[in-house]
Amino acid sequence: MDAILFSANPNRTEVADAISHLARRKALYWSVGFKIAQAKQDEFEYPMYGYIHITGEQVEYRATIREIIPFSRKHYYPLVKPKRWIKAQKEKKHSCQISLAITKIVPFSYNTLKLKRHNGKKVKRAPQSYIRIRPPISRKARAKRS
């Protein structure tokens, strides 16, 4: 399964709002300020995982991403975005580039620096935009291998 790593600043984005939104809705559009070139997007297989690094900490959540779409102001309505996020967007201007169409977010604590990039090299720091990674092997899967 494909995967990306991206950061969320807890001063700007409450992941709890996203989880609550997904408890009532089928999808969430998580708008981000980084770009993913169409050629790169075409390489991804969906659904894919998005590992959410909390700024100043580590990965704390894993999201299931069904697609990546160009950002649109139309994405700011309650069907696909938590009301608090809509209000915050009106108060602050963020330069969004794309939206990640997310269908699920689950807790997933993992040391960001133990993740490996798609090319096999270790992640050296928290992402400033996104990093294509290999999904980490869960403890359960590791135990089955032994």
pLDDT at 142: 47
CATH number of 3-145: 3.10.590
Q: How far apart are CA 112 and CA 123, in angstroms?
A: 7
The arithmetic mean of pLDDT across residues 7-26, rounded, is 91
* CA–CA separation, 75 and 53 (whole Å): 23
Encode pLDDT of 64-122 as tens digits: 999 999 887 766 656 667 777 767 666 566 677 888 999 999 999 999 999 999 999 99
pLDDT at 77: 58
Taking alpha carbons only, the member of 140, 109, 135 closest to residue 123 is 135
Phi, psi dihedrals of residue 145, rounded to the nearest 5°: -65, -35
The per-residue pLDDT for 144 is 53
Domain spans, the chain: 3-145
Residue 115 near residue 122 (C-beta atoms within 8 A): yes
d(CA 140, CA 146): 10
pTM exceeds 0.75 for this model: yes
Lowest-confidence segment of 6-15, 91-100, 127-136 by average pLDDT: 91-100
Reply yes or no on whether the pLDDT at 143 is more than 60.
Answer: no
